[in-house]
C-alpha cells in the first residue's frame, strides 16, 4: 500500500466514477483500475461494488476511506512540518558550554541567531568541559564549546576564539600602578581562583613552578563573577581569561597588570558529531559561529 494508491482510491470515492477519477488525476482508466486491483489484493477485500456504476464503496471500502484520509492528512502535515523546519519556523538548538563561554562568548552569538530565527528553541546547558564531548556523542547536544581538542574520531573540532589569561587587581592594590611585573613579584600575593580544575589552571601552576615561585591560592570560588567581586574588593588578585574581564577593565573596576614572560593562551573550540547531517537550525548556528571567527 502506498500513497498514490490511497490518493486514487479517495479520488474514485469522491468522483464516484473510475473514468472521472482518471480524467481528474491525468491518468488512463486502465492504470487507475490496476492500482485499485493491487490495493484490493493486498487488503484481501473488494473496495468498490462493481455491480454499481456509481463507484459505491463496500463495507471494507468505507473503513479504508476514513483511514486513507487520515494517512494522507498526516503525510501532508509531516511535509508541512519539514518545510517549516527548513524555513526555520520551528526546531531546536542545544549547546553545552562552560561558565566563561556561557557568560561571555555565547550571548552575542545567540542574540544574532535569535534575531534571524525567532521561532527556534535555544537550550544552553552549563557543563563541566570534560563531560561535553560525551554529551555531543550521545546526541544530547548539537554543539559543545571546549578549551581543548577532544581528539575523538567521531567529533569535528574547530577553533572559534583565541583568548589569553591575564592578571587583574583592584585599583586599590599596590600593584595597580605597575606597568609590568615579574612572576617573582607575586610570590607573596594572595590569589582568588576558580575551584574547577581546568587545563588553563594547570598551565598557571606550571608557569609559577618553572619560575620557582609559590602560587598562594587563599580563596577558591565557584564562579568567575564571584572571583571578580572579591578582586574588586581588594581581597586578593586573580589570573582570568581576558574575555571575561572586558567590561570591568573598560570601567576601570579592575586593572590588568602584565606579567613579563607569561603567555598563556586559551583556544576555544566548537565540537559536533562528524558523521551526521546537521539540522537546519544547527547549520545556521554554525555559520554564525564561523562568520564570527572570520571577522
Q: What is the pLDDT of residues 69-90, one digit of tens each?
A: 889 888 887 776 677 666 766 7
Q: Are 129 and 101 in contact (CB under 8 A)?
A: no
Buried/exposed code over 83-107 (b: 16+ C-beta within 10 A; e: otherwise): eebeebeebebbbbbbbbbbbbbbe
pLDDT at 97: 94
Indicate the pTM of the whole model.
0.69
| Distance of alpha carbon 51 from alpha carbon 62, whole angstroms | 16
Tell me which CATH code domain 92-160+267-294 carries.
Answer: 3.40.190.10
The CATH class of 3-86 is: mainly alpha
Q: Which residues contact 115 (CB under 8 A, 6 or more apart)?
A: none
Record the cell numbers describing residue 116, joined without a space: 534571524
| Distance of alpha carbon 181 from alpha carbon 172, whole angstroms | 17
pLDDT at 49: 87
Domain boundaries, the chain: 3-86, 92-160+267-294, 162-266
Block means of pLDDT (10 residues each) for the chain, 295 residues, are 89 89 91 91 89 81 89 81 70 89 93 92 89 89 92 94 96 96 96 88 95 96 95 97 95 97 93 82 91 68
End-to-end CA, the chain: 54
Whether 162-266 and 92-160+267-294 are alike in CATH topology: the answer is yes
**Cα atoms in the 13 Å half-sphere on the side-chain side of 119:** 9
| Distance of alpha carbon 43 from alpha carbon 247, whole angstroms | 71
| Distance of alpha carbon 188 from alpha carbon 44, whole angstroms | 91
Tell me which CATH code domain 162-266 carries.
Answer: 3.40.190.10
pLDDT at 27: 92
Amino acid at each position: 500500500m502506498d500513497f498514490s494508491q490511497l490518493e486514487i482510491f479517495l479520488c474514485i470515492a469522491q468522483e464516484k466514477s473510475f473514468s472521472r477519477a482518471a480524467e481528474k488525476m491525468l491518468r488512463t482508466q486502465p492504470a487507475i483500475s490496476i492500482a485499485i486491483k493491487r490495493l484490493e489484493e493486498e487488503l484481501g477485500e473488494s473496495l468498490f461494488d462493481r455491480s454499481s456504476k456509481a463507484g459505491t464503496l463496500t463495507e471494507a471500502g468505507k473503513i479504508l476511506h476514513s483511514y486513507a484520509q487520515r494517512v494522507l492528512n498526516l503525510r501532508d502535515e509531516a511535509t508541512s512540518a519539514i518545510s517549516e523546519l527548513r524555513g526555520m519556523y520551528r526546531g531546536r538548538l542545544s549547546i553545552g558550554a562552560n561558565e566563561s563561554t556561557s557568560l561571555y562568548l555565547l550571548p552575542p552569538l545567540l542574540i544574532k541567531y535569535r534575531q534571524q530565527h525567532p521561532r527556534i528553541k535555544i537550550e544552553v546547558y552549563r557543563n563541566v568541559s570534560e563531560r561535553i564531548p560525551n554529551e555531543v556523542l550521545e546526541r544530547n547536544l548539537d554543539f559543545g564549546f571546549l578549551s581543548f581538542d577532544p581528539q575523538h574520531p567521531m567529533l569535528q573540532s574547530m577553533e572559534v576564539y583565541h583568548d589569553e589569561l591575564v592578571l587583574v587587581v583592584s585599583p586599590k592594590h599596590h600593584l595597580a600602578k605597575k606597568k609590568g611585573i615579574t612572576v617573582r613579584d607575586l610570590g607573596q600575593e594572595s590569589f582568588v581562583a576558580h575551584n574547577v580544575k581546568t587545563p588553563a589552571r594547570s598551565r598557571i601552576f606550571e608557569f609559577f613552578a618553572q619560575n620557582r615561585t609559590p602560587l598562594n591560592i587563599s580563596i577558591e570560588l565557584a564562579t568567575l563573577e564571584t572571583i571578580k567581586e572579591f578582586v574588586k574588593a581588594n581581597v586578593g588578585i586573580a589570573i582570568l581569561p581576558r574575555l571575561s574581564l572586558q567590561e570591568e577593565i573598560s570601567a576601570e573596576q579592575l586593572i590588568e597588570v602584565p606579567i613579563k614572560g607569561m603567555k598563556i593562551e586559551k583556544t576555544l573550540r566548537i565540537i559536533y558529531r562528524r558523521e551526521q547531517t546537521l539540522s537546519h537550525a544547527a547549520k545556521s548556528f554554525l555559520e554564525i559561529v564561523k562568520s564570527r571567527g572570520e571577522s
